[in-house]
Amino acid sequence: MTDLTEFKSDIVKCVLIVAAIAEIISIPILGFSLLFTAGLIVGTAVTILNFVLLVKAGEKVMEAKRAMPMVGGYFVRLVIYGVFFVAAVKVGMHAAIGCAVGFVCLHVGIMVTYLIVYGLFKKKKNPLNDWTEPKEWNDLSVYDDEDDDWNK
């Protein structure tokens, strides 16, 4: 399995940059809002934590060849998002908006990292597409079952 540590750290760096840009953009719109900034910091921290948990669950799935860590991890991550968002809503609307923006920073960071850095500019080798030789596709005629009812 490809070591994705560098790819993961590139995404985290990009998430932090996107969060900083979101804070800068929010200042002319909301003025300097401490609640928005706190919500953004919490939302960004939670989304990075959940991303790291997702990567760990993916590694466990690949090692154990079972889907249970991924399914269980999904519900744990969903609860973490919910708890922090509800807490941000109780603090105030600016904190809730900041928290939601922080959650979205991960998705923007992944798109920027994957599409621009690895895809468009090709500054680094794409760790998700590092095959050294072409893959052989299975011949589906091998699986042809003569007892099927497709032709009837």
Measured in whole angstroms, the distance separating CA 105 from the mean position of its chain's CA atoms is 9
Mean pLDDT, range 120-135, rounded to an integer = 58
Arithmetic mean of pLDDT over the chain: 78
Give the residue extent of every domain in the chain: 5-143
Q: pLDDT category, 1, cuts 50, 70, 90?
A: very low
Percent of the chain with pLDDT over 90: 34
- Of the chain, the end-to-end C-alpha distance in Å amounts to 44
Higher pLDDT, 117 or 32: 32
| 55, 106 Cβ separation under 8 angstroms | no
pTM of the complete model beyond 0.75? no
Give the separation between CA 3 and CA 64, rounded to whole angstroms.
17
DSSP-derived secondary structure for 92-142: -HHHHHHHHHHHHHHHHHHHIIIIIIIIIS--S--TTS--SSPPPPP-GGG
